[in-house]
């Protein structure tokens, strides 16, 4: 990848970010989201699960409300107030019609022009690390649900519930992709991205012995600088953008 990443499209008002777990957006693209909400755009989050299987030392029944609280707090840091959770089970989220229907319903409700999701391919980077099946399922279902949301005949029960088709999604932006095409300057939103990820404190404290802020700052500095040589030397959040 030697070519330069293009700036993200800016002629939109509403975005919906759809991911599998609490923290997926904070590890990936909160700096971009902070900048978008600063500019007066509306961003909503949809999480397929509550991440209840994410902390080895806390059982799911106790973990789910804790992680939901952390996710709402981390969204608020970057100007996102609308955070919805589907009740798919963390770790065993299945790609299928139910997941597509749930995501299509949310797209019809929020009517975004931009949909954001996380790496839907089976590996991270250039094949160095295996992705989780939850990310693959939710990423693929999100890419598919964008078309489902626009077609009144695919899930007619949604129309019966008053959710009219929405065919206004113009782009799906995949964070964490190994084939990025576009990027957002990460500098203006960087400090809020740090605070946003830090809100997942219980998760991070269980994950690492490092001081949480040091861990978060190092992680986000590394990931945003990876794209910088392809974005005029600026730290960046990179996306693979599928146009419609």
Contact mark string toward Zn ion, 25..44, x via CB under 5 A:
--------------------
Q: Where are the alpha helices (DSSP H) in 111-227?
A: 133-150, 156-160, 190-198, 201-207, 212-226
Distance of closest approach, residue 190 Cβ to Zn ion, in angstroms: 21
Residue 146, beta-bridge partner list: none
Distance of closest approach, residue 219 Cβ to Zn ion, in angstroms: 14
Structure tokens at 130: 């295996």
Nearer to Zn ion by C-beta: 26 or 240?
A: 26
For residue 24, state whether it binds Zn ion (rule: CB under 5 A).
Answer: yes
For residue 102, state whether it binds Zn ion (rule: CB under 5 A).
Answer: no
Nearer to Zn ion by C-beta: 137 or 163?
A: 137
Distance of closest approach, residue 172 Cβ to Zn ion, in angstroms: 18
| Residue 26 near residue 220, CB atoms below 8 Å | no
Distance of closest approach, residue 200 Cβ to Zn ion, in angstroms: 11
By rule CB under 5 A, what count of residues binds Zn ion? 3
For residue 113, state whether it binds Zn ion (rule: CB under 5 A).
Answer: no
| Residue 16 near residue 110, CB atoms below 8 Å | yes
Q: Angle at Cα 164 formed by Cα 160 and Cα 165, nearest 5°?
A: 120
Nearer to Zn ion by C-beta: 21 or 50?
A: 21
Nearer to Zn ion by C-beta: 21 or 88?
A: 21
Across 120-159, b (16+ Cβ under 10 Å) vs e yields bbeebeeeeeebbebbbbbbbbbbbbbebbbeeebbeebe
Q: Angle at Cα 85 formed by Cα 80 and Cα 89, nearest 5°?
A: 140
For residue 21, state whether it binds Zn ion (rule: CB under 5 A).
Answer: yes
Distance of closest approach, residue 75 Cβ to Zn ion, in angstroms: 15
Q: How far apart are the two ends of the chain, measured CA to CA in Å?
A: 24
Q: Which residues contribute to the site for Zn ion (CB under 5 A)? A: 20-21, 24
């Amino acid at each position: 990848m030697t070519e330069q990443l293009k700036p993200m499209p800016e002629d939109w008002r509403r975005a919906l970010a759809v991911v599998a777990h609490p923290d997926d957006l904070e590890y990936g693209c909160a700096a971009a989201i902070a900048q978008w909400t600063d500019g007066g755009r509306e961003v909503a989050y949809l999480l397929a699960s509550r991440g209840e299987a994410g902390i080895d030392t806390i059982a799911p029944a106790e973990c789910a409300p804790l992680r939901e609280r952390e996710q709402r707090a981390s969204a608020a840091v970057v100007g996102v107030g609308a955070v919805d959770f589907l009740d798919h089970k963390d770790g065993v989220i299945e790609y299928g019609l139910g997941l597509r229907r749930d995501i299509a319903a949310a797209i019809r409700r929020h009517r975004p022009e931009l949909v954001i999701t996380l790496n839907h391919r089976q590996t991270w980077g250039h094949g160095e690390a295996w992705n989780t099946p939850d990310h693959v399922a939710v990423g693929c279902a999100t890419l598919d649900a964008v078309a489902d949301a626009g077609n009144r005949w695919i899930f007619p029960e949604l129309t019966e519930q008053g959710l009219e088709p929405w065919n206004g999604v113009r782009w799906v932006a995949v964070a964490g992709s190994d084939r990025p095409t576009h990027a957002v300057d990460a500098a203006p939103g960087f400090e809020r991205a740090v605070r946003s990820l830090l809100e997942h404190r219980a998760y991070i404290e269980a994950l690492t012995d490092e001081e949480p802020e040091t861990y978060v700052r190092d992680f986000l500095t590394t990931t945003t600088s990876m794209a910088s040589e392809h974005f005029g030397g600026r730290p960046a959040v990179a996306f693979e953008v599928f146009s419609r």
